[in-house]
Structure 1
Amino acid sequence: MNYKNIGFVVLFLITQTIFSQVKITGKVVNKDNIAIEGANVIVSNEKKDKKGIMSNTDGDFSIVLQENGIYNVIITFVGYESYNNTVTISNNQKVDLGVISLKESTELLQSVEIIGRKRKDYNSDYSFSATKVAIKNKELPQSVATVTKELIDDKVAFQLSDAVKGVSSVTPVSMYNHFNIRGITQNEDGQVLNGMRTRQFYFLQPLTQNIERVEVVKGPSSVTFSSADPGGTVNIVTKKPLAEERKEVTFGIGSFNTIRGGLDFTGPLNEEKTLLYRLNAAVQEAKSFRDLVQNNAILVSPSFSFMPSAHTSINVEMIYNSSTGNLDRGQPVFEKLGGENFNLKSTPISRNIAATNDFNKTKEWITTISFSQRLYEGVQLNAKYMKQLWSEDLQEHRYEKAVQDENGDPVSGLVGLRYAERKQSWNTDNISAFLNFDYKLGDAAEFKTVIGYDLHRFDKTIGGGVNSVRRNLKDADGNEILTAYNGINIKLPAAGFFDLNNPSNIIRNTNSYNLFSGAIPAQVLKTHGAYIQNVAKFYNFSLLFSLRHEWFEDDFNYGTANRSKNTFNALIPRVGLSYEINNNLNVYATYLEGFQPHAYTTGLMPSVANFFWNNDRLSILSTFKPLTSSLEEIGVKGRFFNGKVNASAAAFRIRQKNVLLINTNATNDLGFEINQRGEDRSQGIEFDVNGQLLKNLQISASGSYVDAEIVKSDDPSLIGERTEAAPRWSGNLWAKYSFNDSSALRGVSLGSGIQYSGDKLAWYQRDLKLPDYTIIDIAAYYKPLNSNFEFTLKLNNLFDTVYWTGALNNTRLFPGAPQNFMLTTTYKF
């Protein structure tokens, strides 16, 4: 056999194949000449053979073809008109289509979010939450900070609190989903999901597997979200289907016996790509550095988008959440240092006074249907309905008060317990319907008008109940029973006690308790509003004006003889002006107002159970004016490095009036006392920067200074004092660097983050001060060459710093986690 001749033939064939290959290249940009990453480029020939690719971060694409011929090139991207071109290739030539500028399409810009976000970086170009419809963040005259799923993944942030802690002016108040935003602590007990209000995303944190991005809309946003916290609103945006096939599976293990798994599948279900799907699922088995605390969770979330025509789109999304864990009431401390601040280290941060047989089980179903229909040129109808079903099964031991000796004096280190069994369920209904009109007057003036109606109905259904025991045991004659402990006669608490000096978490015999059984009053909270909004663009100016009329009703104890109702209404304005200095820089100013009935603001107060389950609740509330607020803000927003970095800075002043506070040490029959503080004022400056500074370097940075103080109060000593739970200074930096493919460390990336939060007061105890803290995290990523695997190792709290994220009072401190790690493996296919 002549191997030399065979080798010559093989070499000839290879050479012919190489030189017969042809190539089509180009660059995709928008009207501002900003590169579009993720544009879908499809090339097909007369044989109907297809080949596709996505444009890279610079907007460039290159497709290698095997033969000459006539090819049809189609380029698509959400929100833009399609590019369609036919090219003829002969003589194995290279065809460069040059710079292809896609034109924005009014028809294709989504009014209701139906199709998911394709970008794969720390930036999000648009927001739906601040104005109901899609608007570019640069053009919005209000501060909105966005945390994308890519940043969530790089930080290995499996819980909502981990995701938002890098946003300017946002700091945790507890270890729950509870934040202080711009110096004002949240009062609402739920989160906004896809622009709609849910209830009880609070104690057990939801997993982030199905989250596309988290948006923090700064300032009171009642004109958009109805009842809204004055400091800001956290809006969770879930992942929507994509028109391209993507699949990934993630597994993780970490400290505190943590095991996690998740999947994210998406793509078209038919050849025309008019029917899309997305399936997100996750499971978690996790304990904690806190004694007897766990959070085992299951999440399943399918979503379907159907676009039968260019004018009609429908999305159906379902979310199932199941959590089994414990309601962690925090770390108790009692000793004071020199009569000033409490000794926060008098108990270990792991200390939990709960019983081994305590638990908290919750289940939740959320179904959302979104519909968008173009009626005429520039006129579109949008509607959305969301239903949430939630139920709770709780058993817990918690702090009641310090154990007393026979003289009524507190005994150091002994904690008296209270016990509760609680079962309840509720449902929420949200309806949003609006028309948006896009039209022009002449060549210079453009208008986008929205007219709509929203309804939110929260029904705490009949059948909820609680069995509880508290205070001290008494004999048949009503005398408090004494027992000897460590040589001291103490008054015996009805649910037992916990010794901080000799801790022991035990299975407590709840069958021996003399339980009091009571019904949780049924309640319906209904708020609905009609609104009009207009965005007028004239040359480089953009004026946003909104006006909303809100009606609120509190129907308490319905179905009983003690039924009572309370109603309010409010007119809520917003006006904002933005000026485009150039394609990359905008300055703006805005003024808006907020409104919150106290049925919502009291939801997270300590001892709130005593308040909500009291028949005099509404008569108490009716004596107080609703909480009102206002925001004055100026700012600047910019895009840099060819649109790869977004930056914003703002100066703001927020005023909130008629703030309710609860005194849990009152001696009246209710066991608490509610007072109304006249006015708080919070002002400051902040900045946020997100994006790709260099080809291999992505960053997310923020910083803020917030001066929050009491302006009006019946207690003159409080005027001019700082407000509770609000640090003055805070800052965050996260950076990820990826080594070049030509480097010996190709496939390796390194991440590092630093978080600083200044000192602050406890939310409901002004003589408890929490120290400032600085936390450093690091991460390493490895993606083997030509592999679908990616490995991530994240080390949190590198220097094992002891710190506290917040506190309600000295019996409920919320320590941060000590040094811990998380190792994840992701497979994409």
Structure 2
Amino acid sequence: MISIKQVLFSFCFIVFAEASAQQVTGQVKDADTNIPIPGATVQIKNTKQGTVTDFEGNFRLNGSGSLEISYLGYKTSTVNPDSTFVTIYLKAENFALDAVELVGRKAQTYTSDYSFSATRTSTLNKDIPQAISTVTKELIDEQQGIQLADAVKNVSGVSPSSFYNQYSIRGISQNEEGQLINGMRTRQFYFLQPLLANVERVEVIKGPASATFSSVDPGGSINLVTKKPLDVERNEVKFTTGSFSTIMAAVDFTGPLNEDKTLLYRFNGAYVEANSYRDNINNTSLLLSPSFTYLASEKTAINVELIYSDMKGKLDRGQPIFGAEAGVTDLNSTPISLNLGAPNDFFNSKQFIITGNLTHQFTDQIGFTTTYMKQTWKEDLQERRTTNGFGVDIDNNPVSTLAAMRFIHRQQSWSVDNVNSYFNFDFNTGAFKHKLLVGYDLHSWAKLEGGGQNQARGYLLNDGSVTNAFDPANAAAYQTYSYEGMILPRPNVPHYNLEDPNNTLNNLTDYNFNGRSAFPTALTETHAAYLQEQLTYKRFHLLFSLRQEWFRDVTNRGEVDEISFTNRALLPRIGLTYTVNDQINVYGTYLEGFQPQSNTVTIMSNTANFYGSTDDSASRFKPLESDLKEVGAKITLLKNKLHINTALFEINQKNLLLNANVPSAPDSLVTRGAERSRGFEVDVTGYLLPNWQMYGSFSYNDAKIIEDNDPALIGARKQNTPITTATLWTRYNFLSTSKLHGLGIGFGAQHSGDKVPTYDRSFKTPAYTLLDLAVYFTPKNSNIQLNLAVKNLTDKTYWVGAQNYLRLFPGAPRNFLATATYRF
């Protein structure tokens, strides 16, 4: 029988053994910046016993023996702790294959110190003679960003124009409906914004970047850099809930698949479901993105990445308001929730992207890189929407309480192919260092057979037929009805009564489909050869490139009535950076842009069915041409912890193609001779203290119309762009010495000046300032972080943009998101 004495002895022995077990605590920091590194792996060597540093770089580990510390972008370090607390400094790794992003950047901060896409080489941002703004995944996560708009709102000179993936950059509205992903052009990320779950960082490369990316917008290019496989195991699970019935689940798993860490993987996935503050709007999105990297040797690497997205929801065409009365526009004449769409509208899109990349280093001086991207995309759209005009009475006078409507059902599918291949040569001639690229790229965009559109619009005639527009001179031929004592021609699709909103279901049998069309097969192809030289001499860094581009547009491809046209352009780029000292670089640059008009019209407000086969085809319009002149400075302070980038710029563009905004002919186009945008920008990112980070920006844009067919518009402000914008985001973490250790606070502010609507200059959307607040909490000795964000703290009513009286885009009222993140 066991005695009480034996039990007490055993208990005391267990307690003594537990108390005697060695416990090591410490902190992992960057050796260059002294900034803590969260998420580093600390493991007892040759065991599976380990942990991960918390958000302040701290760790606590039971056990004894040598510690092995590893983290993405750093050299693995082994230490033998001689005390119960140890500070470990990790040195940044220098990768031999720096020409391609095989692994992520070294720091987990708001600042990214290099760009690959801007020059096709891994170049420090401070040495690139062009303004580049970067939003890292750390800033995105701390602001609880879900879609692209949540990231680019931080960037100087970037302003949303609508609810869509459409922005004004440096006072110039986007025309391309695609998105750059790892520097490769895609198509149709316009109506429903891409999720950010698989994004490492968002880069905004300012100015026309055609010398690098071919046909891109003059104001700037938005490039999504995806997360890459890591050679250390990392796992993250995230759950979010919040206002408007928002729910999101996301995972991020990565690590090696073999012992020698030559085969790496990463899997990102996300599911988002949300309603809206807008009537009859709800969206669901599914993102699946696996990627693999094979490090065949120190000289050869292969990367394969897949992105699948399935988006189901509705298009939000904006808030209608009453037309101006007595010259006065009341933006509050209708609630911001009002939406003209029907409950059974839908917009479903699916896309699949596969990217393969091969890099081989023949010698220390000669390398080769080739990348291929394939994208497929298809849509199925049904919507009741405005014609961008009011209903009219029998005398053709607009009735400002009735929105004229149309109904559309559209299906189509596209296929996109991208190839980019180049040789890079690194060599010296005397005191000159050269980095030379010689390459070729191809972008092919095919609109596939089977696409088409049915639509109902216009007015009913007495004989039962339909005409697209009302002709008051022939009023007797139209069916009529009475409304508030007025006689009105009867529309094919009933007008929407703004005084008595009624979002009834679409009944397709009620409509007379007077527009049935099959979309012609079409193909646009761009081939280009390019040469780029990055030359360094002492404190000078010269960037020079030439790109010869050939463009071809084919409509009714493969048919007897096939038609085509071609464009070509020689595009120069030259920039010079001078290193004043270790903290200051100054630069100047000049570059040119080029966009065939086939690429500028597909996202115009009413020109979705433009396919180059009508009298308004792009073949009869000159390409859009642009140029950039820019000078700036890139400065680092506080021992490289704070980064300040400033730029003065002028962008000119000519041969602009615009929608004519004619309700009876919604696909008609007009040209504008020239526009000019001049301005100043500043971006500030980094650490004010080791536990205090910030990201701020300011921009001033004087964007004007220089030449136009309408003399009244010459010298007028550009539409849908503010003169000034400013942003601020800052996070403060309480130190381990504080009673509030584990707690962090974030604060943000956004300001935008007023805007002139796209098609109506009789009113403006007012300036606004928004405030955001976030609270973070990490329980002690835990890998869990809790994040609560309150956005639009003061519940400000505001509009991010407008097109006319019937299409305003109100911002979200006060709302919140709560996220729990577990890393293991």
Alignment TM-score, normalising by the size of structure 2: 0.91
- After superposition, residues 297-446 of structure 1 pair within 5 angstroms as 297-339=285-327, 342-400=329-387, 401-442=389-430, 444-446=431-433
User: Is 1:766 the counterpart of 2:761 in the alignment?
Assistant: yes
**Matching residue within 684, 691, 694 for 1:696:** 691
The answer (yes or no) to whether the contact 1:37–1:54 under 8 Å persists in 2 is no
Instruction: For residue 234 of structure 1, report the CA deviation from its aligned partner.
Output: 0.4
CA distance in 2, matches of 1:552, 1:229: 16
Q: Match of 1:129, SS?
A: coil
CA-based RMSD of the aligned residues comes to: 3.1
Instruction: For residue 312 of structure 1, report the CA deviation from its aligned partner.
Output: 1.3
- After superposition, residues 378-777 of structure 1 pair within 5 angstroms as 378-400=365-387, 401-442=389-430, 444-476=431-463, 479-515=477-513, 516-609=515-608, 611-612=610-611, 614-618=613-617, 621-665=618-662, 673-777=668-772
The answer (yes or no) to whether the contact 1:274–1:308 under 8 Å persists in 2 is yes
CA distance in 2, matches of 1:804, 1:199: 27
Q: Match of 1:629, SS?
A: strand
Alignment TM-score, normalising by the size of structure 1: 0.91
CA distance in 2, matches of 1:347, 1:748: 42
CA distance in 1, matches of 2:199, 2:77: 34
The answer (yes or no) to whether the contact 1:282–1:299 under 8 Å persists in 2 is yes
User: 1:306 corresponds to which letter in structure 2?
Assistant: Y
- C-alpha distance 101-607 of structure 1, shift in aligned 2 (>3 A): closer
- C-alpha distance 41-108 of structure 1, shift in aligned 2 (>3 A): farther
The answer (yes or no) to whether the contact 1:562–1:615 under 8 Å persists in 2 is no
Instruction: For residue 175 of structure 1, report the CA deviation from its aligned partner.
Output: 0.9
- After superposition, residues 187-206 of structure 1 pair within 5 angstroms as 187-206=175-194
Instruction: For residue 5 of structure 1, report the CA deviation from its aligned partner.
Output: 9.1
Q: Match of 1:324, SS?
A: strand
- C-alpha distance 102-561 of structure 1, shift in aligned 2 (>3 A): closer
The answer (yes or no) to whether the contact 1:423–1:466 under 8 Å persists in 2 is yes
User: 2:270 corresponds to which letter in structure 1?
Assistant: A
The answer (yes or no) to whether the contact 1:38–1:77 under 8 Å persists in 2 is no
CA distance in 1, matches of 2:727, 2:608: 36
User: 1:820 corresponds to which letter in structure 2?
Assistant: N
- Residue range with higher mean Cα deviation, 380-389 or 705-714: 705-714
Q: Match of 2:599, SS?
A: helix
**Matching residue within 793, 805, 810 for 1:810:** 805
- After superposition, residues 102-251 of structure 1 pair within 5 angstroms as 104-105=94-95, 107-109=96-98, 111-251=99-239
- Residue range with higher mean Cα deviation, 255-264 or 565-574: 255-264
- C-alpha distance 719-26 of structure 1, shift in aligned 2 (>3 A): closer
Instruction: For residue 576 of structure 1, report the CA deviation from its aligned partner.
Output: 1.0
- C-alpha distance 570-180 of structure 1, shift in aligned 2 (>3 A): same
2:470 corresponds to which residue? none
2:778 corresponds to which residue? 783
CA distance in 2, matches of 1:102, 1:353: 55
Instruction: For residue 774 of structure 1, report the CA deviation from its aligned partner.
Output: 0.7
CA distance in 1, matches of 2:58, 2:650: 44
CA distance in 1, matches of 2:286, 2:48: 40
Instruction: For residue 514 of structure 1, report the CA deviation from its aligned partner.
Output: 2.0
Instruction: For residue 319 of structure 1, report the CA deviation from its aligned partner.
Output: 0.9
The answer (yes or no) to whether the contact 1:639–1:646 under 8 Å persists in 2 is yes
- C-alpha distance 287-39 of structure 1, shift in aligned 2 (>3 A): closer
CA distance in 1, matches of 2:153, 2:602: 23
Instruction: For residue 641 of structure 1, report the CA deviation from its aligned partner.
Output: 2.6
User: 2:380 corresponds to which letter in structure 1?
Assistant: D
Instruction: For residue 540 of structure 1, report the CA deviation from its aligned partner.
Output: 1.5
User: 1:178 corresponds to which letter in structure 2?
Assistant: Q
User: 1:693 corresponds to which letter in structure 2?
Assistant: L
The answer (yes or no) to whether the contact 1:775–1:798 under 8 Å persists in 2 is yes
Instruction: For residue 411 of structure 1, report the CA deviation from its aligned partner.
Output: 2.6
CA distance in 2, matches of 1:210, 1:93: 40
CA distance in 2, matches of 1:28, 1:663: 56
Instruction: For residue 617 of structure 1, report the CA deviation from its aligned partner.
Output: 3.8
CA distance in 1, matches of 2:527, 2:191: 27
Q: Match of 1:622, SS?
A: helix
2:271 corresponds to which residue? 283
The answer (yes or no) to whether the contact 2:77–2:90 under 8 Å persists in 1 is no
The answer (yes or no) to whether the contact 1:35–1:642 under 8 Å persists in 2 is no
The answer (yes or no) to whether the contact 1:634–1:651 under 8 Å persists in 2 is yes
- C-alpha distance 35-772 of structure 1, shift in aligned 2 (>3 A): closer
User: Is 1:822 the counterpart of 2:822 in the alignment?
Assistant: no
Instruction: For residue 27 of structure 1, report the CA deviation from its aligned partner.
Output: 7.4
CA distance in 2, matches of 1:329, 1:741: 50
CA distance in 2, matches of 1:802, 1:96: 52
The answer (yes or no) to whether the contact 1:38–1:118 under 8 Å persists in 2 is no
- C-alpha distance 745-148 of structure 1, shift in aligned 2 (>3 A): same
Unaligned runs of 5+ in 1: none
- Residue range with higher mean Cα deviation, 523-532 or 735-744: 735-744
- C-alpha distance 56-744 of structure 1, shift in aligned 2 (>3 A): closer
Q: Match of 1:163, SS?
A: helix
- C-alpha distance 259-26 of structure 1, shift in aligned 2 (>3 A): closer
Q: Match of 2:776, SS?
A: strand
User: 1:639 corresponds to which letter in structure 2?
Assistant: T
Instruction: For residue 168 of structure 1, report the CA deviation from its aligned partner.
Output: 0.2
Unaligned runs of 5+ in 2: 466-476
Q: Match of 1:605, SS?
A: coil
CA distance in 1, matches of 2:537, 2:72: 27
The answer (yes or no) to whether the contact 1:709–1:722 under 8 Å persists in 2 is yes
CA-to-partner distance for each residue in 1:443-497, whole Å, 9 max, x for gaps? x432111111111111111110111110011222762211234444322111222
User: 2:256 corresponds to which letter in structure 1?
Assistant: P
CA-to-partner distance for each residue in 1:423-445, whole Å, 9 max, x for gaps? 11111111111111122234x43
Identity of aligned residues (%): 44
CA distance in 2, matches of 1:661, 1:568: 20
- C-alpha distance 97-213 of structure 1, shift in aligned 2 (>3 A): closer
The answer (yes or no) to whether the contact 2:203–2:222 under 8 Å persists in 1 is yes
- C-alpha distance 714-294 of structure 1, shift in aligned 2 (>3 A): same
CA-to-partner distance for each residue in 1:537-556, whole Å, 9 max, x for gaps? 11121111111111111111
The answer (yes or no) to whether the contact 1:433–1:454 under 8 Å persists in 2 is yes
Instruction: For residue 14 of structure 1, report the CA deviation from its aligned partner.
Output: 7.8
Q: Match of 1:244, SS?
A: coil
CA-to-partner distance for each residue in 1:364-394, whole Å, 9 max, x for gaps? 1111111111112221111111111111111
- After superposition, residues 260-299 of structure 1 pair within 5 angstroms as 260-299=248-287
CA-to-partner distance for each residue in 1:546-600, whole Å, 9 max, x for gaps? 1111111111122334321110010111111111222232111111111111111
- After superposition, residues 788-807 of structure 1 pair within 5 angstroms as 788-807=783-802
Instruction: For residue 118 of structure 1, report the CA deviation from its aligned partner.
Output: 4.6
- Residue range with higher mean Cα deviation, 688-697 or 639-648: 639-648
CA-to-partner distance for each residue in 1:268-317, whole Å, 9 max, x for gaps? 11111111111111111211111111111111111111112111111111
The answer (yes or no) to whether the contact 1:521–1:613 under 8 Å persists in 2 is no
The answer (yes or no) to whether the contact 2:736–2:742 under 8 Å persists in 1 is yes
CA distance in 1, matches of 2:416, 2:233: 34
- C-alpha distance 65-473 of structure 1, shift in aligned 2 (>3 A): same
CA distance in 2, matches of 1:369, 1:134: 19
The answer (yes or no) to whether the contact 1:117–1:240 under 8 Å persists in 2 is no
Count of residues in correspondence between the two structures: 807
CA distance in 2, matches of 1:749, 1:742: 14
Q: Match of 2:295, SS?
A: strand
Instruction: For residue 604 of structure 1, report the CA deviation from its aligned partner.
Output: 2.1
